[in-house]
Amino acid sequence: MQLIQAKTKLQILKIYLLYRAAFPKEERKPFSIITMMQAQDKTDIWYAQENGRFLGFATTINDENLILLDYLAIKKSVRGKGYGTRFMKEMLSIYQGKGFFVEIELVDQQAENYEERLKRKQFYLACGMEDLHVSALVFKVPMELLGKDCTLDFQSYHDFYRDNYTVRSADNIQPIKED
């Protein structure tokens, strides 16, 4: 598998179509924001291919010392063949020396998609990430953070959004209130 920075219109189109298919509408930001942030060097858009065949993509939000894996998707036709694991390990290698983290839906046994959430968490843990023991409401969705080579608390996570995305986005990162 080869990872390259997506630059061509065809690469961006393939990524956009997979983005729309892989993520529910409520989890997608306008794609124009991703490409705008790429133009501002705040986001990397990675295109995964093998023998010229598109396999998937990832986007990141970048700080000098900290990287948020914003989206990662593998084409449905090639899932379950180890590409996701290879992709993640390559991403961790690319950003070696920087903190790297991801937001996942909170693994809640009461959730309708509990098994899917648990499987996603196990995937990232198997790729070398650790539970950062930070959870938050991210645009009203309960999320938890996993990371590698970083330590975050709620405030530093909130500040990351404020400093690297937008103040409006940071305003939508709220602590989860305990009952």
How sure is the predictor about 74, in pLDDT bands with cuts at 50, 70 and 90? very high
pLDDT in tens, 59-71: 999 999 999 999 9
**Sign of the C-alpha dihedral, residues 37, 39, 41, 46?**
positive
Q: What is the mean predicted confidence (pLDDT) over 98-120?
A: 94
Asked if pLDDT for residue 26 goes beyond 60, the answer is: yes
Of 178, 132, 134, 142, whose CA–CA distance to 158 is shortest? 134
Q: pTM score, two decimals?
A: 0.93
- What superfamily does domain 2-174 belong to in CATH? Gcn5-related N-acetyltransferase (GNAT) (3.40.630.30)
Asked if pLDDT for residue 179 goes beyond 70, the answer is: no
Q: Any bridge partners for residue 60, and if so which?
A: 44, 69
Asked if residues 16 and 33 have their Cβ atoms less than 8 Å apart, the reply is: no
Of 51, 24, 120, 26, whose CA–CA distance to 79 is shortest? 120
Task: List CB contacts of 92: < 8 A, sequence separation 6 or more.
Answer: 100, 127, 128, 148
Q: Which tokens in the block code for residue 156?
A: 């530093």
How sure is the predictor about 141, in pLDDT bands with cuts at 50, 70 and 90? confident
